[in-house]
Structure 1
Amino acid sequence: MKRTIYIVLISIFTTAFTYAQELTWHTDMGKASEFAIKEKKPLLMFFTGSDWCGWCIRLQKEVFHTKEFKKWASENVVLVELDFPKRAPQDDTVRTQNRQLQSMFQVRGYPTIWFVNPEMNSEKRINLTKLGKLGYVAGGPTKWIGNAAMML
């Protein structure tokens, strides 16, 4: 009886921890790049309109907020959110950085996800090597992750 209770409690705490585990979405590209270089992982750069883009919100709900995506992302990429809100306030430094990256990657619509490898050059500047881009993919987290994994 004690063993059964013990197993049930462990199961409950493990499940609670898994669902409570949240991903870190970086907003500072420099810090995210340094972290990615250190971890030897590519960046997943999510260009979004968080407070107005219906497809962005749908992608987050159907894919990014699932346990499958959270597990995959924590093992494979460093996440960067590059937001272009209409109503929410945004720091000028972040807004400028996001617009520069939007121009550099020629983002014309949302959501757009670029996968890139950051590399430190001899001048201590970070270069970004494009691996591929993705947007909303119908079919849930398994299909989205399958498409993303082909670029890494």
Structure 2
Amino acid sequence: MRTFQSFSLLLGAALVALTSCAKLGSGEKKPDEEAQSPFGASGIPPQLRAKSPESGTPVTPGGNAPSANSSLKITPEEDIVFTDPDNPDATLPELATLLAAPKRRGPWEESETIAKQRAAREGKPLLIWFTDSATSPMCRALSQELFNTPDFQGWAAEKLIRLKVDAFIDVHDPDLTIDQINTRRIDMKNYVARLKKQYKILGQPSLVLLNPSGEVVGRYRGYKRGDAQYFWGLIKHGEAVSANAYKEWRSGLEKKGYREWEDRNKRKVFARLTSYSNGTLNLIEPDGTRSRTEEGKLSDKDRDWITEQKKLRNMQ
């Protein structure tokens, strides 16, 4: 009798244990079952999960209701600071001075600094020509067959900023002493060597095309007589690629408050207004160059824009 009771108790305990295991196992998937689901245990595609970066932008309260200021195309408040008239920044250079065209000896710049500043300010790609005018026949051929032709010069004047880096150093300045001439020659050799190393130039002629922000968009090495049109086509393609990229870059900056300003002499600069005080404007260009100008020196269009901004802020 006792044996039968013990057996019954053991049988009951086993049934309870099996029932519990069945309940626990019913909510879990076996590894092979989970592997059969292409979206994992959740069954939800990754792009639709809440924490996925592809799941979209959460809808803010108000749904698709238009914003009250959606029709006002003005620069955001955080991008313009109207300063205290008693605390203007007096250390900035005058914009007219920066926009004044530097004196150049020819169509090719000789200073990398000036060439890059012009490229950034004018929104044009920079073509750097590494040459050796004294010892390289192909450099002379490229100059004669393409760079010195009226057609190329007219096109390049509109589309490019040009910089020539000549390995042949020739210093002629009657105002310099012999020691000063030697020092100038050494400085220029170091300048050429630095640029050749920076742009990985191994021979001449070599050309490098930079977009207005200074990124390399094209490299052209060597030249063969009679290939002027083909070589020009390569440069044109690089210029077109740079122009398209510049449009996107500029559009992105316009959303951050940058715009084109023009003075009374029709000179233009792409910059953002950082502060305004009693008719004085402080501007910053994309490359960080800061300048100051007066409202009266700007175009009528710019002055109308300033008037609109002042009205929006209830300024007299």
Residue 191 of structure 2 aligns with an amino acid whose one-letter code is Q
Task: Select the residue among 156, 159, 170 that pairs with 1:76.
Answer: 159
Whether 1:132 aligns to 2:218 is yes
Aligned residue in 2 for 1:122: none
Task: Select the residue among 84, 101, 107 that pairs with 2:195.
Answer: 101
Higher helix share: 1
Aligned residue in 2 for 1:142: 229
Task: Select the residue among 68, 93, 108 that pairs with 1:25.
Answer: 108
Counterpart contact for 1:131–1:151, Cα < 8 Å: yes
Deviations for 1:111-133, whole angstroms, at most 9, x for unmatched residues? 001001243xxxxxxxx310111
Alpha-carbon offset, residue 147 of structure 1:
1.2
Q: Distance in 2 between matches of 1:50 and 1:109?
A: 13
Q: Distance in 2 between matches of 1:41 and 1:23?
A: 18
Query: How many correspondences in the alignment?
Result: 122
Aligned residue in 1 for 2:273: none
- Superposition CA RMSD, Å: 2.0
Q: Distance in 2 between matches of 1:84 and 1:147?
A: 24
Whether 1:151 aligns to 2:238 is yes
Counterpart contact for 1:137–1:144, Cα < 8 Å: no
Counterpart contact for 2:109–2:115, Cα < 8 Å: yes
Deviates more, 1:95-104 or 1:27-36: 95-104
Greater radius of gyration (CA): 2
Aligned residue in 2 for 1:58: 141
Alpha-carbon offset, residue 34 of structure 1:
0.5
Q: How does the TM-score come out when normalised to structure 1?
A: 0.72
Alpha-carbon offset, residue 58 of structure 1:
0.6
Residue 151 of structure 1 aligns with an amino acid whose one-letter code is G
Q: Which has the higher contact order (CA 8 A, sep 6+)?
A: 1
Counterpart contact for 1:68–1:142, Cα < 8 Å: no
Question: Percent of aligned pairs with the same residue?
Answer: 25
Counterpart contact for 2:123–2:212, Cα < 8 Å: no
Q: Structure 1: which 5+ residue stretches go unaligned?
A: 1-21, 120-127
Higher strand share: 1
Counterpart contact for 1:68–1:141, Cα < 8 Å: no
SS at match of 1:45: strand
Deviations for 1:39-60, whole angstroms, at most 9, x for unmatched residues? 1111110001111111100100
Counterpart contact for 2:206–2:219, Cα < 8 Å: yes
Counterpart contact for 1:23–1:70, Cα < 8 Å: no
